[in-house]
Structures are given as structure tokens and as C-alpha cells.
Amino acid sequence: MKIKTVSLFLFLCGCLPTLTHGWGGNGHRIVGAIAASYLTEQARATVTDLLGDETLATASTWADEIKSDESYNWAYRLHFINLPRGVEKVDLARDCVGGDCVVAAINKYSAIMADSGAEREDRIEALKFLVHFIGDIHQPLHVSYADNLGGNTVKVSWFGKTADTGPFGDFEWNLHGAWDFGFISQRTGSDWVALALRIRADINDLQLINWSSTRDPEEWANESYYITRQIYDQLPKDKVLGQGFYEQHIATVETRLASAGVRLAALLNRSFSGMTVASRAE
Ligand code: ADE
Ligand code: ZN
Ligand code: ZN
């Protein structure tokens, strides 16, 4: 990547490395920063107009932050979709009853965000949900099984540790956490900007075209579910995860972050084309 592109990228994601957990935390920021680097001028202007001082990267974690606010309890189920064991694909009638899942959430908030007649506050909230949920739906274990809470109850050892200390205190390693933040922090520690830049630099034109032309979140969920089945097929019986498991999956982790960023940008570019900042002024 050229120096100019790198500095533009850093400028767009508005980011200094921050230490926190998560595709909570740093994974979500990486998705937001990659998306920011692919916005058209028009989409960038609309995003800036809606987010103000925030960037896609900084806004990407809001949907996790509100989990501690009881008035947002209704949003808990919108971060994932679970399927029965043994099936091949998502079936929304079966797996997303009442529209309470990440696929339906992405469809719902895309519509609100793109509706210039909707309340400004609702469009801002919709954009913040979308940045986050498009990250979540690309984390394979957010499309998995309810019986172990998406792998949250599957205890593992991660590079020799069953427990660890993070920015939010002590925690026990589980399969879900390994995918949310284990791979990512193993790769570059807390320097998520470095990882975002590296992933961004590896995206080729064919991937750009393929990823942005796959528009239906149900397809993104099916891709994640396919990976989830591979994860469980390849999970060692003793659940001791280290270099071998890391090498088996790290390329997939990076591809999921990259495709999430590209698809978020494609959605924003389509949604905000033909919409000028001036036409939305009060
Ligand atoms: N809680 C229940 N199922 C989950 C999943 N698939 N991902 C994250 N959290 C969950
Ligand atoms: Zn989430
Ligand atoms: Zn998660």
C-alpha cells in the first residue's frame, strides 16, 4: 500500500490503538477501519454527518457497550443467530423467530439508515448497530449453536492458559473468546491498527468484487455457519488450542474481518449514493 493510502486510512479510522477486548473491541474496530477506507466521497460525507466526532471504528463497539444498559436488553439476541445441530443452512422462519437475530437486524437497520425521511437519531443508531452487527455476522461462532451459547461454554486452553487477565479483568478461555479476540491479540497484541492495515493491504480486486456483490446477510451467515462446522470438526478432543489451531484458522479470521469491512463499505456506498449532505440539512 502506498504511504498516501496508509495515512489516509489512519486518518479515516481516526484511530490510535486502544486496549480492550472483543471481535468485541479490536475486531470490530478493524472492520470499521477497513470499511472507512473504501467509502465513496458521498458516503464518507454522510457517515461524518451522522457520526460527528465518531468514526466507523470508534462507533463499532457501541452495541457491545450498551449491553450493560438494561433498557437495551431487547437487543441482546440481535448479535447472533443459532441453528439446530445437523442442519446445512440458515432457515430464517426456523432460526429467526420474531426477527430476533443478526440477519434480520442487519436488514432492519439497513432500511432505517438509508431512509432519509427517518428520524436523524434513529438513523444514527441504525448506523452504529450496523457497523457492529456486520462484524458479528462474520464471526463464525455468532452463527452457531444455542446449546453452548455459541461456544461460550466450551472451555479451552489457549496457548497454554485456561485463564487470563484482560483489560476488563480475569476471564477463563473459551472457544467463543478465542474467535472473538484470541486470534487477533495473538497476532498483534493490542495494536489493532497495524493488523487492520495489514489485512487491508492483502485485499485483492477479485475479493473486492466478489465480497461487495454478495449483498444478502443470509449468505454471510451461511458462510459463517460453514466455517463454524469446520471449527467443530477440527476442534481437538482435549480442547488444547495453540500454534496448530492458530495456523489452521488465522487466514480465515483475517478473511472474515476483511470481507465484513468491504461489505459494510459497499452497503454504505449504495445506501448513501444520491444523498447529499445538503439535501438532508434541516
Ligand atoms: N449467546 C447465545 N448464542 C450466541 C452466539 N452464537 N454468539 C454469541 N453469543 C451467544
Ligand atoms: Zn456483538
Ligand atoms: Zn462474540
* Domains of the chain from N-terminus onward: 3-273 (1.10.575.10)
pLDDT (0 to 100) of residue 167: 78
CA 176 / ligand 1 centre spacing (Å): 8
CB proximity list for 22: less than 8 A, separation 6 or greater: 28, 61, 64, 180, 181
- pTM value? 0.90
Most informative mutation of 176, 181, 224 for ligand 1 (most atoms within 8 A of CB): 176
Q: What is the pLDDT along the chain (282 residues), one digit of tens a residue?
A: 444 444 444 444 443 333 333 465 999 999 999 999 999 999 999 999 999 999 999 999 999 999 999 999 999 999 999 999 999 999 999 999 999 999 999 999 999 999 989 999 999 999 999 999 999 999 999 999 999 999 999 999 999 999 998 877 899 999 999 999 999 998 888 899 999 999 999 999 999 999 999 999 999 999 999 999 999 999 999 999 999 999 999 999 999 999 999 999 999 999 999 765 444 433
Name the 3-class secondary structure at 241: strand
**How many A from CA of 23 to the centre of ligand 3?**
6
Distance 64 CA to ligand 3 centre (A): 10
As to burial, measured by CB atoms within 10 angstroms (0-12 exposed, 13-18 middle, 19+ buried), residue 116 is middle
Q: Among all ligands shown, which has an atom nearest to the Cα of 132? A: 2
> Does the beta carbon of 150 sit less than 6 angstroms from any atom of ligand 1?
yes
What pLDDT is recorded for position 125? 97
| Distance between Cα 37 and ligand 1 center (Å) | 29
* 3-state DSSP assignment of residue 174: strand
Pocket test for ligand 1, best of 21, 82, 100 (most atoms within 8 A of CB): 82
Q: Judge whether 273 and 241 are in contact, CB under 8 Å.
A: no
Residue with cell 439535501: 279
Distance 56 CA to ligand 2 centre (A): 15
- Which residue minimizes the CA distance to atom 3 of ligand 1? 149
Is 144 a pocket residue for ligand 1 (Cβ < 6 Å)?
A: yes
Task: Say if strands 81-82 and 143-144 run parallel, antiparallel, or are unpaired.
Answer: parallel
C-alpha–C-alpha distance, residues 32 and 261, integer Å? 6
Ligand 1 touching residue 77 (CB < 6 A):
no
State if residue 149 touches ligand 1 by the CB under 6 angstroms criterion.
Answer: yes
At residue 22, the pLDDT reads 41
Expressed in angstroms and rounded, the spacing between residue 236 Cα and the centre of ligand 1 is 21
Distances (CA, A) of 195 to 24, 33, 96, 235: 15, 11, 33, 25
Nearest alpha carbon, ligand 1 atom 2: 149
